[in-house]
Structures are given as structure tokens and as C-alpha cells.
Amino acid sequence: MDDYTKTPRTRLRRASQRGQYDRDTVHAILDAGALCHVGYVIDGQPYVTPTLYWREGERVYWHGSAASRMVRHQAGGEPICLTVSHLDALVLARSAFHHSVNYRSVMILGHARLVEDDAEKAARLKTFVDGLFPGRWDELRPMTAQELKATSLLVMDLNEVSAKVRSGGPIDDEEDYDWPTWAGVVPLHTQMGDPEPCPRLADSIDVPTNLMNFLDFDRYKKI
Amino acid sequence: MDDYTKTPRTRLRRASQRGQYDRDTVHAILDAGALCHVGYVIDGQPYVTPTLYWREGERVYWHGSAASRMVRHQAGGEPICLTVSHLDALVLARSAFHHSVNYRSVMILGHARLVEDDAEKAARLKTFVDGLFPGRWDELRPMTAQELKATSLLVMDLNEVSAKVRSGGPIDDEEDYDWPTWAGVVPLHTQMGDPEPCPRLADSIDVPTNLMNFLDFDRYKKI
């Protein structure tokens, strides 16, 4: 089972060559991101909320305040959609019509549920923090029972999933390639600036190695 | 009328100090982006689709293929949500609980409609292209009637709108400020790489001035 099963809801109708369903592609797109957009419906109105997420195996997780209306609705068993997208490049063609962008996106349909077990919650939150900043969890002031209680952890299985990817240069109409306009690709990258220490940080504390590891992540390049 | 009217659906319940409703803030957040996420509902299932957008006055526009199922549903008068978000920084605190991110986001609730008039459609698409690449529209092979017909243009009014913003450093529990862990802000930037010419581009065509203008946009910094 290397592919997610296409369903009538995830099968691409148009530009179907851009649709991808294999697990490696989906996992790579998810693992390259930190911010997702979750769609959910309240009284017939869809809402799209940006939030951080992470993947472990065939599950994606995100968290929020236990007091959040959004969290309560997302955990209520109603259908939701979690989308991750990376805008990789602007694609400039000789005609406006063939301008495009390169991107990688994943859409996950299904239902979320709350992770209720405290030990499980703490373990998943550790993976979240250490996934961004390797080793950081153990260097932090330990999480209290009250903080754990105040944090809701949501999980969604990777069952009904599709990826969509565009890469490469402009594809113009054949008769347009001689049109005297610059055409090509302008890549976009997310990059990190210099870390800015908290004003109340002791001068003796340097930017730690785990943060420097993060700065070297493939997905973020240090300026 | 410098503020959008808060409604029960756009009033922030939690962290309400992060909610902003003034038009200048909303416009600035929208104008700093190119990619939005549109939420819409088909048969009770929400979908969240990333797409490019632009703002003109009190309207946002996006476009798609006239043959697209997504476009047909979004234009059908059903409730939709258009969200724009910028992830500005990672915020590292002394406890996992107080880790955060800095961000700017806008959520627009309402209904979309199609722009049907051809002249109006062409004018809006020109604004879209020239908004990204000043002056480029007039340098392109002109849009044909068939291309215009194949392009659906969607518009949504800025009526029910909220912005949400976090900025600044970590806010730790008072007793944690002495905890011996680095804390602070790691800024994230979207930056442009070197333009990659189309392999079929004549050597005599340099990267044009309008693209260089784009490279200087505040929101994108040249590497």
C-alpha cells in the first residue's frame, strides 16, 4: 500500500497529471511545512484557520487551547479539511494566460479527534517541539499538569488524502515562444533571519546548538 | 467607517487583544500576500484550496478555470471563507507552553460571485498581473477572447472581516525568566532566488526592469 486510495472527493478532475497519491510524496510535502490551514463548518459557514501541525506516521496533529471554540468544533466529529501548501516559484510565461506558480500542496479530508490520555499528549507535544528544535523539550521548564490540561491535542488519520504539485518552467503556446518577453521561473524560499534574543535573556546564554540545527534544516536556509 | 463591523462570527473569543478590525491593517495584510486559502463546502464536506488572490479597494479577487468544479461551487452563492496568513517568526519561550509564532492573518466570510463582463474581467486580470510584475501585462502576447472565456474571475466583498496579529517576543511566566534556556524570536522571510530563464528564451532578452521591481518589493527580499 504505497498509495492513498483515490476517492470521488480526492480524485483530481482537472490538470489530473498534477495529482499525486503516493505516501512518500504526501509525507515529504507535510514534513516540509509547519503551518497548515484547517477548514471546518459551523452553522453552514466554512472557516479556514491557520495553525501549526506536525506528522507522525500516518497521522497529523495540531493543538490549541482547550477553551477554543475552533478546537471544540474541530474535535466534534464533523467533517474537516486540513491543507498544507508551499508556494515554490512564480512562473512567467509569454502570455498572461500561461502564467502560473510552482507549488506543492496536500489536502486531507476526514474527522479529527482529541487525544485525551495525558502521557500520550505529552509525548506528542514533545515530538512537536523537538521536530522544530531538536532536543529542545528536555531543556525547557517542564510542562505542568495544568498546562497539559489547558492544551487540546487534535489528531487526524491520513486516509483520504491527495497531493497536487506543479514544477518546471512556463509552458507557452507553441507560436508564442518567440514573443520578445522575458519568461522563466522565479524561485521563492522561506528563510530565517538572525535570532533575536529575549531582552530578559542572560548574556551568558548563546543561541543553542539545537536552534542552529534548525537553521540548517533543508526547508529553511539561513540568510 | 475605518473599521469593519464585528459580527458574532468574526469577534475573537479568545486572545481578543490579537483581533484587529481596522481597514488599514486588513488591507496591509492582504496586500503583503499572493496566496490565500479558500474554504467552501460540498455535500457537507469543507474543502480548503490554496490559490492566488489580489485586492482592489474593498474587494478581493481570485481566478480559475471556467471548467473547475471548485470555481463552480465557490461561485454558486454558498458561504465561503477566504483566509490569508503570513508566518512571520518562531517565538521560543522557556516553557513549551509559551512557545508561539508571530503571524498576521485575515479571515473574510461571505459569498463569491463571478465577474461576467469581459472588459471588466480583462481589467481585473491586468491589475492582477501588473500587481505582481508592474507593467508586464502590456508586454505580453495579448489575451484572446477564448482565453478570457476560459478564465473565471471570482470576487468577494470585504464586509465580514477580521485580522489576527501576534508580534513581539516570548511572554514567559514570571518565575521562568531565569530558566537557563535560550529564548527569543527567529524571524522568517520569504525571499526570491535568482530568476531562471526559460530554456527557449532568446539570449538577447534580459530579466526586465519590471521583474527587478518585483524583486525589490518589501515583501520579498532578493537573496
C-alpha dist (Å) from residue B79 to A77, A83, B45, B108, B187: 21, 19, 13, 11, 35
- Which residue range(s) make up the domain with B91? 16-171
**What is the predicted pLDDT for the residue at B223?**
35
Give the C-alpha separation, A207 to A185, whole Å.
36
Tell whether B197 and B95 lie within a shared domain.
Answer: no
Under the banding of pLDDT at 50, 70 and 90, the label for residue B183 is very high
Q: Tell whether A73 is covered by a domain.
A: yes
Using DSSP's 3-state secondary structure scheme, residue B186 falls into: strand
Residues B158 and B202 in one domain: no
Based on the structure, what is the number of domains in chain A?
1
Looking at residue A106, what is its pLDDT? 98
B126 and B26 fall within a common domain = yes
Cell numbers for A156, please give them: 487526524
Query: CA A125 to CA A122: how far, in whole Å?
Result: 5
- Report which of A50, A222, A191, A75 is spatially closest to residue B105, judged by C-alpha positions: A50
Residue B222 has pLDDT above 80, yes or no: no
Based on the fold, state whether residues B140 and B112 are members of the same structural domain: yes
The verdict on B67 and B117 lying in the same domain is: yes
Task: Work out the minimum CA distance from B220 to partner chain A, whole angstroms.
Answer: 9
Beta-carbon count within 10 A of A87 CB: 18
* Res. B189: pLDDT tops 80: yes
Q: Could you tell me which of A154, A50, A109 has the C-alpha nearest to residue B42?
A: A109
What CATH number does the domain containing A25 carry? Answer: 2.30.110.10
Provide the pLDDT for residue A138.
Answer: 95
CB contact under 8 A, A107 and B79: no
Which of A43, A86, A125, A140 is the best mutation test for B, with the most CBs of B within 10 A? A140
Q: Mind telling me how many Å the CA of B57 is from chain A's nearest CA?
A: 23
Grid cell for residue B149: 472565456
Asked, for residue B81, whether it belongs to a domain, the answer is: yes
Averaged pLDDT score across all residues of chain B: 91
Is B222 part of any domain?
yes
Searching chain A, which residue's CA lies closest to the CA of residue B144?
A97
Residue B148 maps to a domain:
yes
My answer on whether B102 and B195 are in the same domain is: no
pLDDT reading at B208 higher than 70: yes
ipTM reported for the complex, 2 dp: 0.94
Mean pLDDT of B124-134: 93
B190 pLDDT band, cuts 50/70/90, is confident
Please check whether residues B166 and B57 belong to one and the same domain: yes
For the entire predicted model, the pTM comes to: 0.94
- Give the whole-angstrom CA distance, residue A62 versus residue B47: 18
B207 touches chain A (CB under 8 A): yes
Q: Name the residue facing A39 among B47, B186, B189 (closest C-beta).
A: B47
Q: Is the pLDDT of residue B132 over 80?
A: yes
pLDDT the model gives residue A212 = 60
Q: Which of residues 157-186 of A touch B (CB under 8 A)?
A: 169-170, 176-186
Instruction: Give the Cβ contact number of residue B97 at 10 Å.
Output: 20
Residues of chain A with pLDDT under 70: 1, 210-223
Residue A4 lies in a domain: no
Q: Tell me, yes or no, whether B159 and B196 share the same domain.
A: no
Residue B161 confidence class, pLDDT cut points 50, 70, 90: very high
Tell me, yes or no, whether B214 and B166 share the same domain: no
A108: in domain: yes
Beta bridge partners of A184: A92, B197
Mean pLDDT score, B72-85? 94
Residues B139 and B206 in one domain: no
Residue A214 included in any domain = no
Residues B74 and B151 in one domain: yes
